[in-house]
Amino acid sequence: MDDSYDSGPFAWPRTQPVQPLGRPGSQSPPGWDSVGEGPDRGPGDPAGQTPGPPPQQDPDEPAAAPAGKKRKHFWRELLIIVVVAAALTLLVKAFVVQVYRIPSASMENTLQVGDRVLVNKLVYHFRSVARGDIIVFSGQDSWGPDAPPPSDNGFVRLWDEVLSTIGLDSSQTYYIKRVIGLPGDKVACCTGGKVTVNGVPLTENSYLYPGDAPSFPFKAVTVPAGHLWVMGDHRGDSDDSRYHTGNPGGGAVPENEVVGRAFLIIWPPSQLRDLPIPNTFSQAALHAGPAGAAVIGAENVGGMTLSAVAAVPVAGAAAGAGVLGAPWLLLRRRRG
């Protein structure tokens, strides 16, 4: 049976193409066909909603840096900390405190061969050298050997002076001894088997090498102005002022060649201790001499206080810079 239909003119309904979701001009998302018809999405489906504008960044919040740039900043800041630590180390070594190694047995048993001591370079800017101090000094212009003359090349001479100032290199020979006599003192041996200073016998049992005599006999020596009479604690094995009477100063060493005062043994750990002035040098009669008034109270002035200031080992300066710099570096990284 044939279906009947109206043979008159027929108009197909006109349909509008469906526009894809999103901003005008954007391309169809995955899943849409060429006319924009895609899978059915209900009104409650978030994916079927038109997305709004992108969120705005808080102007007070810094933009996140790329990972590569963060790493570059980290290493740059770490390098700054290392350079600052090295500079602090050199400054401390040049002007405040320096480590010296004991090369001989002349100061036994106070100082053993191989011990490392801290030498305070600052203390004598605040007080005079005191009897009983253990000092490090150069043999220049006294015991020798004298350093060779400076180079004729100005650049080389300047470079040598810089290295010598910061303690990295030196052409001079250094010694470590105990101060017995100050400028103007009369030192002699022996009265009652003891060394005397201005006629006052010294009781040296607390620091002399066991079994050593205080000294072989020698005539009274008046210490020249600007010089110091020094002796080792191991009197039987110490090449000191007694053996250099034919040198400039009559065996005494120039005060201006003193590097500083040894005040602390830092190595080995079993030897860790300070180096105080022995009690025998506190006798009131000693301070009545020509140089006595200048050193009254020297055991305290520039002693504990200045030693505490200068007791920053060379490595401690770098560690201090690291302790101060690490939190700053971490904070910078966290903010980044």
The residue from 93, 121, 177, 194 that is catalytic is 177
Dihedrals phi, psi of 81, to nearest 5 degrees: -65, -40
Annotation marks residue 177 as catalytic: yes
The residue from 93, 106, 138, 194 that is catalytic is 106
Annotation marks residue 69 as catalytic: no
List, by residue number, the catalytic residues. 106, 177
